[in-house]
Structure 1
């Protein structure tokens, strides 16, 4: 197996530099000409500025503004980062050893960099704050969902722990708060076919062979609210949110179901009442049974008055 080249630039803010592979065929007279065509969202003046500063490099070092185009070569550079509003909640470390790190992620913090969320993500914060530059997630939680996320500390163990999740060998439990419906018979198993289309925010259910399965039960209820236990056996996009919506009890704070609602990116009120509460698995390295539980609680259940006031 061919090993990926080690970047000639160090990480910045816990992020690897971007790598561009240069096509074998092309008629560009210079690297600059190629970059101007290849990176249409980057202003030409910014490309010129980066070349003049030596911020675009190959394996031999910085490339000059008049550097020739080298077919089949590769260049690296750090992308400019978007302006971000800090997510005003901390990440709690639940467990750490030489191989793995388990954390309690807050609501509103994405797991990995994507789109408008780069520095304000769990991965980047943890790499920086814990000085773990090779940290990588074994799985992901939605930005809107709080709770347990497992990261791999030791790069040599990455495949072993990620495979646990790919093979669905991790037992997951979520807590959720939604309206209580006395006519909804629980516990029950929900099966459906979920489809998520590119560039469409919400997923949806369609007729056909089920590709998702969730066990739904009720912990307790009071004052018209239910506290639910959800055990997903598959990991489709928004699976738990869709299945609860399909049962007629959409999760409190859900901005996607039953309909997409616009919310400012810096609005940290009324978080989705969904919490990844437990992860359990047989450790692929030691063979030991592992079980981790969240220390977080859902606001709408613990403080319904404060929730209603938000």
Structure 2
């Protein structure tokens, strides 16, 4: 039987853009770790700056300083560990290079610190799919993500060529992702573009917000159906920030129905039977990574969203 996995050390300079930031934020951003894991490493003494251990996760850093982080050991085989059937994970398309799924609500794209629930990668592994070996073990094959509370289409890479090409296509914004959402109220104008930067919420780590120093974020929207007190929207994203649609519509004063985290009316959510935001990734279009042809996939509304929409229409 093999011994425990060796811990790895990452060492790198702190770039100019992170001057004056908290050490837990710096570790999180540079190494792709969650803020919680980054803070735990600081507290455990596994983070040093210029050879000195950090006294607190809120220590501020200077650009050019030398950062060293002793990373937690990886799981022995995360793909085997997380392989678990996922109820409602619908395979829409499958060939030698890609698998397209319609993800149910309550399922993460992949495992991560703090998440012990079902995952797309685990569900596919349990169903016998072998995914690309590129990327960290827990994210192999993953080229984009959907929030746990958002349902809809995802493409996952099976071949190495597909992984590389799809990652490039998403980075270069050559993938068309369309969403449907129900927003409270009636946006004015009924069609338009929200161009507002998104970053961490200044007071709540679990939320995001429109902030001056956030990353550029662009959402295009069209109102396609109007109800008393709500609107069905068709949305396209130029960028793919975490919670982007939810944050942008909350900032407009029209939070998504059922999205209590971002200011939705709980009375309306209860009336519609919603326990999550009304948001569904219903259409995905891209050039097939190895065949060079444009492929388009669509996904029907899941039962909870269809029921809420039917109630809105009945009230009209």
TM-score range, shorter chain: 0.5 to 0.7
Corresponding position: 1:165 with 2:170: yes
SS at match of 1:132: coil
SS at match of 1:285: coil
**CA distance, structure 1, for counterparts of residue 89 and residue 288 of structure 2:** 23
Shift of 1:18: 6.3
**CA distance, structure 2, for counterparts of residue 155 and residue 221 of structure 1:** 45
1:271 is matched with which residue?
276
Gaps (5+ residues) in structure 1? 1-7, 10-16, 24-37, 42-74, 262-267
**CA distance, structure 2, for counterparts of residue 177 and residue 21 of structure 1:** 46
Which of 192, 199, 204 is matched with 2:196 structurally? 192
Gaps (5+ residues) in structure 2? 11-40, 45-72, 133-139, 267-272
Shift of 1:88: 7.8
Contact 2:150 2:279 survives alignment (8 Å): yes
**CA distance, structure 2, for counterparts of residue 228 and residue 179 of structure 1:** 10
1:21 is matched with which residue?
8
Contact 1:193 1:208 survives alignment (8 Å): yes
Shift of 1:217: 0.9
SS at match of 2:260: coil
1:179 is matched with which residue?
184
TM (norm. structure 2) is: 0.64
1:228 is matched with which residue?
233
SS at match of 1:256: helix
* Correspondences of 1:81-120 after superposition (within 5 Å): 89-118=87-116, 120=118
Structure with the greater alpha carbon radius of gyration? 1
CA shift in 2, pair 1:288/1:18, >3 Å: farther
Once the two structures are superposed, what CA deviation does each residue of 1:254-306 show, in whole Å capped at 9, x if it has no partner? Answer: 132138x9xxxxxx96122111111111223221011111123423543438x
**CA distance, structure 1, for counterparts of residue 274 and residue 214 of structure 2:** 38
The count of residues paired between Structure 1 and Structure 2 equals 237
**CA distance, structure 2, for counterparts of residue 18 and residue 158 of structure 1:** 27
CA RMSD of aligned residues (A): 3.9
CA shift in 2, pair 1:22/1:219, >3 Å: closer
